[in-house]
Amino acid sequence: MKLQGKTVVITGASRGIGAAAAREFAGAGANVALLARGSDAINALAAEIGDQAIALPCDVSRYAELEKAVHTAADRFGSLDVLIGNAGVIEPVSHLSQADPDAWGHVIDINLKGIFYGMRAAMPLMQAAGGGTIITISSGAAHSALEGWSHYCSSKAGAAMLTMCADKEGRAQGIRAMGLSPGTVATQMQREIKASGVNPVAQLDWSDHIPPEWPARALLWMCDPDADEFIGQEISLRDENIRKRIGLA
């Protein structure tokens, strides 16, 4: 996929993987719509990138806000070609027997419903235009239970299933739906995990985490026909063969 002039919507674009992806896609010539709750951060990033970027403050747990942002991006740049479902939270880390039900549910609202809301807003536009790419940021937690992460594991497992559903329902209309499991990435979320002290992931050293630029490059590659064999699947950056194929060290 030639990205020059294409429109990429990125949720959770204020920092970490989302911000790195915005820079990567803009560097490839794409227009980027930066969605996040933190308006100051995405406004600053949009100013850094320039006319190719638009900052759209948005809470992905609220469908009306996400739908409006997606349509605003499509109207501003003339198309909607790629949706990166990246927004996600892990706090509060808590055991099931002690979890606050409202806080637990809010993680589901962001990590799972937010992915559905993005797909629901984007798919009709992409199908009408003849296709598009939808990539969900997944996690090893989607496939393995971890202490204290019942909300995160459950939401990521649901998001992985949603991505497969998007493939089954959208492939015939040109939708390329895939998941990316980046492994542990040096972001603010890892600092929160470290501070919790719960489960083996919290015991990892900072040097064990990959930089956010790695998944950003993977996302760019996943929009290319070279990745078509992985449509409907989840790619893991823990796979050395995948890293070599993308050109990562």
Please tell me which residue in 25, 152, 214, 221 is annotated as part of the active site. 152
The conformation of residue 202, written as its DSSP 8-state character, comes to G
Q: Indicate the length of the chain as a whole number.
A: 249
With H, G, I as helix, E, B as strand and everything else as coil, classify residue 55. Answer: strand
Q: Which helix (H) or strand (E) holds 179?
A: strand 175-181
Q: Do residues 180 and 215 make contact, with C-beta atoms less than 8 angstroms apart?
A: yes
152 is catalytic: yes
- What is the C-alpha to C-alpha distance for residues 45 and 32, in angstroms, rounded to an integer? 11
Q: Do residues 138 and 179 make contact, with C-beta atoms less than 8 angstroms apart?
A: yes
Q: Do residues 175 and 126 make contact, with C-beta atoms less than 8 angstroms apart?
A: yes
Amino acid (one-letter) located at 248: L
Strands 31-36, 7-11: parallel, antiparallel or unpaired by DSSP?
parallel
Residues labelled as active-site residues:
152
